Chain A
Amino acid sequence: MVIRPALLHIRIFSCCLLAFWMAGASAMPDFARRYDLSCAACHAAFPRLNKFGEYFRDNNMRLPNWKEGTVSGGDDRLALPAAPSLAFRAQAYVQARQGKSIDPVTGASENANTDFQTPYLIKLLSSAPLSEHITYYFYGILAEKGGNGEVIVEDAWFRHDDLFGSGIGMMLGQFQLSDLMFPRETRMTFQDFMAYRMAGITYDRGVLFDRALGPLDLALGLTNGNGIEDNLNINSPGYRRPDKMFDNDNSKTLFGRIGGEAGPINWGLFGLAGKQRNATGDAGTAIGDRNTRKRVYGLDLSGDLDGRLWWFAQYLWNDWDDFIQEGRSYRWQGGFAGVDYIHDDHWVFSALYNYADAGDLAGTDTIYEGIDINSLSLNVSYYFMRNVKGVAEVNFDFLDKREKTGTYYTGHLSKENYLLFGFDAAF
């Protein structure tokens, strides 16, 4: 989760709340415990944030009275959280689906038209203010999507909200570039914001600066551009050194967003310029050693009606030079749009439409033909408690099943319709 660029509201927020919110507040239930607040204070329906939740997030994830729950031992340069911040999120699903696991090279397939995805994930989250201007946040996931024996840390960062008194916020760590638009973790559907994943603008390591400038919010960041899994030995001096290389090349990815409000509509323009390794090998499943140019441009729009219906839309245009063959440009586009309707304290209805056209990647006989998507996901959430919900979701795949056309088993070889039920809880 990336804290979006500071809004003008933040200053107002801080001033107003300081006067009235002196006692010691997210899908982070630890905030609710720390500030003695109901989850409803920050969430329209977990995990979707309401207006106050967005204020809280943009205020470096704290309330003005954050120090009240800390231990200083008489040292005014110390503000330890009275207890380590810890919260959990857990999901478990049972699914009926048409999608299969197909080896793109051999075509060997495995099929499970019903599936107990239990647990789907167990997430441990922690966040707290550490000083007047510094907040940390991280979460780790145990056994994500059935990967038992695995732990992965996704968001993990420090953020200073007023660098050298300049009003510039700086986040250093691991985060999703796409969080500048719509954070995936606060979506209501099981179905993902697929265009973000396909464009490769999710998790990366780097730094992000943000500042409000008049009515505009600006954000500019640099990342390694290779995701969050590289961990290379440094052995050029002969004997391997204890440090590790997180980046695998000398290039960095530059990205940013400029956003604002036009009446009831929030808008934003996103841009990214960087490098990515080419795809090679059978069906393009291997990573090559060429650094190829990557450009992404995006437009996001969102708004809400009376705090009951939220709508959002994202468009991405991608330009990947030399990605498969040298001297060739691969351009494709995609996006998504959705609505979340809060019917009452118990029922929430959501719809998410995903669309992407593989464009120049079509017919390449690589797995990237699979960027094609055209689906509608309808979700119903029933809240047993503020922090525990039962979900039901159905996905309609509008693409036709296609037969294998090249050497490899790529493309839309099976339909992706699914029906899913399950639980999602944060505590």
Chain B
Amino acid sequence: MLRSEPALALILALGVASLSAHAASLQIRQLRIESDPSGAEVHGIGGLLGTTPLSIPERAIYPNDFPDERLPWYGVVELRHPGCRPLRHRVTLKDVTQGLHLRLQCTDTGMPAPPARPESAPGAKQATRRTDPYRRRLRQLKVLQELLEDGLISAEEEANIRRRILEQVDE
């Protein structure tokens, strides 16, 4: 019969050895993001994360702390590329394990296409169909303001587009 002290020592030694080996073999989990076209800016809860293709730590998507006003960005990345619709995507567990490849919708005019709905928002599609034009315009105006703040469009372009959106509301 084993005496308890040697048995304990053996188990502890095995545990420590196993843990040390495991520590050496593990890498912190990264989220790989690629886009088509590449070179898109990737924005997240912490601001600009880089341009595609890139790998970012999972904690860049799910930080332990963040300013309250950034809550809408939690777990979300948005890809921005000149001439393409900004694409917002909620990062799922599958994305983290398999990587993320997003195709942007781009136009030839060099003008940003109208804002797209979040790709990962299946419930949002039905909701959008049901929403009235005023809400849709309001959303467009908000995205327009965001594009202006991010420097993707000029103030003049913003004013023109804003006027067109508002005229549609009046109709």
Does B22 reach chain A (CB closer than 8 Å)?
yes
Instruction: Tell me the minimal C-beta distance from B120 to chain A in angstroms.
Output: 5
B64 touching A307 by the CB < 8 A rule?
A: yes
B96 touching A38 by the CB < 8 A rule?
A: yes
Count of chain B residues near A, Cβ 8 A: 41
- Choose from A13, A51, A114, A384 the contact partner of B4 (Cβ within 8 Å): A114
Residues in B with CB closer than 8 Å to A398 are: none
Does B68 reach chain A (CB closer than 8 Å)?
yes
A22 touching B122 by the CB < 8 A rule?
A: yes
A113 CA / B9 CA spacing, docked (Å): 13
A37 touching B75 by the CB < 8 A rule?
A: yes
A65 touching B72 by the CB < 8 A rule?
A: no
Chain B residue at minimal CB-CB distance from A19: B72
Does B59 reach chain A (CB closer than 8 Å)?
yes
A401 CA / B127 CA spacing, docked (Å): 68
- Choose from B8, B15, B68, B92 the contact partner of A12 (Cβ within 8 Å): B68
B12 touching A94 by the CB < 8 A rule?
A: yes
Does B47 reach chain A (CB closer than 8 Å)?
no
Instruction: Tell me the minimal C-beta distance from B85 to chain A in angstroms.
Output: 16
Complex interface residues of chain B between 85 and 121 (CB less than 8 A to chain A) = 88, 90, 92-94, 96, 118, 120-121
Count of chain A residues near B, Cβ 8 A: 40
- Choose from B26, B29, B72 the contact partner of A17 (Cβ within 8 Å): B72
Residues in B with CB closer than 8 Å to A94 are: 8, 11-12
Q: Which one of A142-150, A284-292, A339-347, A351-359 contacts B?
A: A339-347
Does B171 reach chain A (CB closer than 8 Å)?
no
Given contacts A68-B123, A421-B15, contact A20 B72 (CB under 8 A): yes
Instruction: Tell me the minimal C-beta distance from A345 to chain B in angstroms.
Output: 5
- Choose from B5, B15, B28, B94 the contact partner of A390 (Cβ within 8 Å): B15
Given contacts A20-B118, A307-B63, contact A382 B23 (CB under 8 A): yes
- Choose from A16, A44, A382 the contact partner of B64 (Cβ within 8 Å): A44
Query: What 0/1 pattern do residues 342 to 373 of A give for CB contact below 8 A with B?
Result: 10111000000000000000000000000000
Does B65 reach chain A (CB closer than 8 Å)?
yes
Instruction: Tell me the minimal C-beta distance from B48 to chain A in angstroms.
Output: 18
Complex interface residues of chain B between 5 and 31 (CB less than 8 A to chain A) = 5, 7-8, 11-12, 15, 19, 22-23, 26, 28-29
| 20 A–B contacts from the bound complex (CB under 8 Å) | A12-B68, A16-B72, A17-B74, A20-B72, A20-B76, A20-B121, A21-B75, A22-B122, A23-B90, A23-B122, A23-B123, A36-B93, A36-B94, A38-B58, A38-B93, A94-B11, A113-B5, A114-B8, A308-B64, A421-B11
A interface residues, Cβ below 8 angstroms from B = 9, 12-13, 16-17, 19-23, 32, 36-38, 40-41, 44, 50-52, 55, 65, 68, 94, 96, 112-114, 304, 306-308, 342, 344-346, 382, 384, 390, 421
Instruction: Beyond A20-B88, A23-B122, list 19 extra A-B contacts (CB 8 Å).
Output: A12-B71, A22-B121, A22-B127, A23-B90, A32-B93, A36-B94, A37-B75, A37-B92, A40-B58, A41-B62, A50-B62, A52-B71, A68-B122, A112-B4, A114-B4, A304-B65, A345-B59, A390-B19, A421-B11
